[in-house]
Each structure stands twice: as structure tokens, then as C-alpha cells.
Structure 1
Amino acid sequence: MGFKKDFILLTKPYYCVNILLSLSYLLAKKAPGICVYLFTPKESECELDGRETEILFFLAIVVMIRTRKTGSVTMINYLTSSFIYTKIANLILWAYADYLYGVIFGVVFIITALVIPEPTYSGPEHVTYFRTEHALDDELESDKRIVWIIAFYTVWNPACVNFAPIFSELSAEYNLKNFRFGKVDVGRFPATGKKYHVSDSSLSRQLPTIILFKNGKEFLRRPCVDVKGKLQTFFFSKDNIKAAFILNTLYKESKENGITTDEKKQK
């Protein structure tokens, strides 16, 4: 996602409101007029004290660690992943300054979350959603000439949410009759996740998991386990997916060995 697209997204109400909420306490403390009105009659005392500085420092560390773990690689991804932590930190700071301020901020926090949802991907996609326990197995067995790239995800996981538009864009770019993209919600169908060794636990580091199937069998997956049994970190950017799954080569091969409409009808 380029800078222009990022800038356009930042103008949407969801990002504007959440950035404002994330910076609300700091802005109030640093704006003399607001600080004097809310906190102290003396402008000279409108500075962060030791406890407030500690909270902000701890917040910075948490945001860096969590966004790193979710594989956030763009400005928008970093912001989206960090909003929940920055808003909770602001809730603590407002409550630390005055209990009533904390309550007011908490109410605003909840209302904005309900009224202004995060923008969803609205571009083209060619993704098959498997909505039963055995739907994926049945599809893999029905025509083994089809190469499938399947995303195992949950709706509540931040990394899965961040990856969703990337997967949709890739599906629109590479989709063929014999090279297709699909998704399975392992939170909804845990048995499918268990069969393909994808944990849906809240502590799972396997979400999302992308598996490439050729001839009806697993051929490649990310993230994968190394020889020592340790799960390797993988950042789910568009370029990383293209490189790891050699999408350009697979697309070329699939196009050369394409399935015609008549062949699909015969199946």
C-alpha cells in the first residue's frame, strides 16, 4: 500500500477519531488553555509527572512488541494494531488525573467503537469461503488439478484482520480456474484447524496461516516450523506472500495448464 493510499485512508472518520482519542491526554496536557481548565490553574504545571511518563513509556514498549508480533508492516497496520493499546493507556491516564474524566473517556471510547467501525476492504476479490467443517476437504478432493491457496484465520485476530485486504488483492490479481484462493475461519470450525495443525487459541502465533495445496495435498505453508520445532516468524506483506509462495511462477504454470469451461462442466 503506497503513501497516497495510506493518506486517503487516514482521512476516514475511523482513523481521524481514533488518532484523536489516542493523543487526547497528551494534547490536553500540552495545550495551555485546555490544561489550565482541566487540570491546574497554573500553566507552569502543565507537564507530565513521573507516573504519567512511565505509563506512556510502557505504552510505547507494548505497542512496538504487539505490532511486531502481528506482522504489521505499513503505517496503517501499525496504527490499527496500536489503537486499542493507546486508547486503554489514555483511559488510565484520564482516570489517574480524575476519576470522572476516566469515566467520560471510557464512554466516548465505547460509543466510537460502536458507531465508527474500522473501514473494510471494498475492492475486487475472488475468494471462496468454506463455511462447513468438511467443505475444504471436499473441494480439495473434487478436482486435484486446482492449486489452492488457503488462509486459515479468525475474525478477532488483529493480524488476520490486517492481512484480509492483502489476501483479497492477491486473489483478484492471480485468480484462474485452476489457481484459486480460499479462506477457513478456524475460530468457527476448530476441527478444520486441528486437522491442518492451525491453533485458534488467543495465544496462538499461527494466525493467520497460509497453506498452498497442490494435487489435493499440502505443499507449502507460512508460518512454518523449523528443524528444531520452533515456529518461524513470517510477515504477511503482499511482497512476502508473492515471494514465499512463488505466485508468479504458479500463475504462469496454471495458465499454461488451464482448465477450460467444458472441462469443468464434465467434472
Structure 2
Amino acid sequence: MSFKEDFKQLLKPYYIFNVILSISYIICRKTPGICNYLFSVEECEFDGRESEILFFLIIVIMVRSRKTGSVTMINYLSSSFIYTKVANLILWFYADFIMGIVYTIIFILMGLLLPEPAYSGPDKVIYFHGHNSLEEELSRDKRVVWVIAFYTVWNPACANFAPIFAKLSSDYCLDTLKFGKIDVGRYPEAGAKYRINDSSMSKQLPTIVVFKEGKEIDRRPLIDSKGKVIKFLFSGENIKAAFDLNGVYENCKNSTKVNAKHLKSD
């Protein structure tokens, strides 16, 4: 996403209200007048406990953002909102029980009324309903190279990767190069079939698997000989490089042309 596209996203109500909720305590605690009224203090400064909570929050956001592969401003915000809001919740309850209750109600209402905007750009992704439908498609036409994303709807890294995968599908899709997705949270048998851990602590979400002639030829993230998941950053450029997507696209494009010539000669 470009900075201009990121800025457009930020103007959506979901991001505006979540940013407000994420910084509400800091603003109220540091603004003279509001601070004096709400907290009944003379100086608008953080005490030791508040500073500890905020410092811990910064560390958590940095670590979790790296683990989820956040690569844009929107990704960082989306992956950090839950932690900033929980920290604010703790701080509001620490300051005053009633204000904590009010913040909780607003927190819940915003979650119900303003869900995170789903990607609405162009894509050419086929969604599979279980591993049987995927296997049927893989065996139906073995000339097709399939790029399949195994994901869950609740995983932040999967949510961050969704627009990247959608754009790749739009840019590279051919009759002989197709893109698909399967929700291993909804269809756990697919995760078991392709050896993908779908637990809440899994480091295999998302997983991208490339199939050629109906058989798996590559995947990311890889798993080493000790069964440890090798970390992979799911950016568009990394996907292109890891799977040589440009080379695969050219090969599939050329094979399509050759098949078309054969059909004409016949």
C-alpha cells in the first residue's frame, strides 16, 4: 500500500475511533484542565505505575508487530490496537473504577458497531470449502499451477496478508496460474492434511503452498529438520522472490500460448 492509500484507510471510522481509544488515557492524563478535573491532581504527570504500564505496552507492540509481519502503517496500527486498548482499559480502571466501566462499554460498542474494514480491492482468489474440494481441483487439470493460502479469519498476520495476496492474484492470475485460499480454522481437516498447525499459538499462519501437476513443490514458512518453523515475512516482494513468481508467471504464460497454437493447428 502507498502512503496515499494508507492515508485514505486512516480516514475510515474504524481507524479514527480506534486511534482515539488507543490514546484516550494519555491525552486526558496530560491535558491541563481535563487532567485536573478527571484525576483530581495538581500536576498532569504519570506516576510510576502508569509509566511501567505504558513502557510494557511499547515493548509488547514492537514484539507482536514483528511476529505478525506488519510491514505498513496500517498493518502496524491494526496489529497494535488490541494491545493499546487493553492497556488503556487497565489504566482507566487504575485511575477510577467508574471511568474504567465507561471505557469498557465504549470499547465493546466500538467492536460491535465498527468492525475492521475488509479488503475491497480487485482479486482473483478462489475459496475452497474443505480439503476435498481443493484436492479435486488440483487433480482436475494438472497443467494449472496453484498458489494456495492457508489462513484463519482471527489471526492478525492472516488479516494483514489478505490484501497482499489479493493483489498478487490480480497481477499474476492466468488460466494456468491460479490463486486460492482455504480457512483451516473452519476446515481443520485441511490443516491436518497439509501439516499446518491452526492453534492460537501457531507460527504457521498464514502458510502459502505452491502446487504443480497436483503436487506440492514449495511452501512458506518452511519447517527445519528439528520441526521448528523458519520465520518468513509475508510481504509482496518476499512472496515473489521466494516462489520466483515472475518466472512461474512467464512459464505458465508461454505454456498457454503453446497450447493455443496446438489447438489452432489441430
| TM-score (norm: length of structure 2) | 0.95
CA distance in 2, matches of 1:180, 1:232: 26
Superposition CA RMSD, Å: 1.7
Structure 1 match to 2:83: 85
CA gap of 1:41–1:53, structure 2 versus 1, over 3 A, is closer
Partner of 2:171: 173
Partner of 2:251 in structure 1?
253
Which residue of 1 is the match for residue 207 of structure 2?
Answer: 209
Matches within 5 A, 1:111-122: 111-122=109-120
Distance (whole Å) between structure 1 residues aligned to residue 121 and residue 70 of structure 2: 21
**Following the alignment from structure 2 to structure 1, what is the Cα–Cα distance between the partners of residues 132 and 247?**
30
SS of equivalent residue, structure 1 residue 140: helix
Aligned to 1:5, what secondary structure does the other structure show? Answer: helix
Q: Deviations over 1:20-60 (max 9, x none)?
A: 11000000011101101101252xx2110000000001111
Aligned to 2:121: 123
Q: Distance in 1 between matches of 2:83 and 2:209?
A: 31
Moved more, 91-100 or 239-248: 239-248
> Deviations along 1:85-130, whole A, 9 cap, x unmatched?
0000000000000000000000000101111111111111101100
**1:125-164 alignment runs, 5 A limit:** 125-164=123-162
**Contact 2:130–2:190 (Cα < 8 Å) also in 1:** no
Alpha-carbon distance in structure 2 between the residues aligned to 1:16 and 1:143 = 47
Report deviation, 1:8. 1.3
Deviation of 1:67 (Å): 1.1
Q: For the structure 1 residues 216 and 133, does the alpha-carbon distance in structure 2 shift closer, same or farther, using more than 3 Å as the test?
A: closer
Partner amino acid, structure 2, of 1:189: Y
| SS of corresponding position for 1:155 | coil
Tell me if the contact between 1:40 and 1:46 (Cα under 8 Å) persists in the aligned partners.
no
Could you say which residue in structure 1 is the equivalent of 2:70?
A: 72
Contact preservation (8 Å) 1:152, 1:184: yes
How many residues are aligned here? 262
Distance 1:258 1:197 in 2: 32
- Consecutive unaligned residues of structure 2, counting only runs of 5 or more, are none
Distance (whole Å) between structure 2 residues aligned to residue 83 and residue 252 of structure 1: 41
What residue number does 2:35 align with? 35
Deviates more, 1:82-91 or 1:224-233: 224-233
**In 2: Cα distance, 1:230 partner to 1:132 partner:** 26
Structure 1 segments (4+ residues) deviating >2 Å: 226-230
Normalised by the length of structure 1, the TM-score is 0.95
**How many percent identity over aligned positions?**
60
Q: Given that residues 130 and 189 in structure 2 are in contact (C-alpha distance below 8 angstroms), is that contact kept between their aligned partners in structure 1?
A: no
In structure 1, distance between residues paired with 2:255 and 2:156: 37
SS in 2 for 1:182: strand
C-alpha separation between the residues in 1 aligned to 2:227 and 2:122?
A: 38
**Aligned with residue 238 of structure 1, among 232, 236, 239:** 236
